[in-house]
Amino acid sequence: MYSEKFFIELCTPRLRLKKFRMEDALGISTLLKDKVVAETTLMLPFPCGTKIARKMIHTYEEEEKLQKTMRWAITTIESNKLMGEIRLVLNKDFNSAEIGFWLGKKFWRNGYTLEAANKVIEFGFKELKLNRIEAHSMIENISSTIY
């Protein structure tokens, strides 16, 4: 259903959303050394060394093969520097998805997550023809909570 679009790179004026590669493990572990980043999610490990980050990327690759989750590394267009992650967890039975993301703390409050989310949501509806995309956030994560 989604196979031909599963590994597509997306771009915005400031961001490149690309497939994770093993060489991203160091960047992941560096960003996830800050406990406050892990505390804003249910799934991120803390602490996260490069060995754990490599396992995460391996899991990402397996999920992609099974077409369960579309996952992108959020990077800058200019430097290609890893800033975080955004993903769509697909529910093929209902032609829907859950969007989720995390961003390294030094990148917070610059509109990067909103910019990436808008692009992924547009992709989900226009290209994947999803009929619903939903998001969940922890109540403590005020920046990701919409009232």
Q: How confident is residue 80, by pLDDT bands cut at 50, 70 and 90?
A: confident
Residue with token string 């989604």: 2
Q: What is the pTM of this model?
A: 0.88
pLDDT of residue 7: 75
Structure tokens of 125?
């509806």
Parse the chain into domains and list their residue ranges. 3-144
- CA–CA distances in Å: residue 18 to residues 12, 15, 40, 78, 147: 12, 10, 23, 14, 31
Higher-pLDDT residue of 113, 145 = 113
More confident residue, 32 or 126: 126
108 C-beta neighbours (distance < 10 Å), count = 15
pLDDT at 147: 35
pLDDT of residue 48: 77
Of residues 33 and 12, more confidently modeled: 12
**Interacting residues of 100 by C-beta distance below 8 A, sequence separation 6+:** 41, 86, 87, 89, 135, 136
136, pLDDT greater than 80: no
Structure tokens, 50: 């490069």
Over the stretch 52-78, which tens digit does the pLDDT of each residue have? Answer: 889 989 988 988 888 889 999 999 998
Q: In what side-by-side order are the strands of the sheet with 82-91?
A: 10-11, 15-18, 69-76, 82-91, 96-103, 132-135
Is the preceding omega at residue 47 within 30 degrees of 0, hence cis?
A: yes
102-116: per-residue pLDDT in tens?
999 999 999 999 999
Q: What is the CATH number of domain 3-144?
A: 3.40.630.30
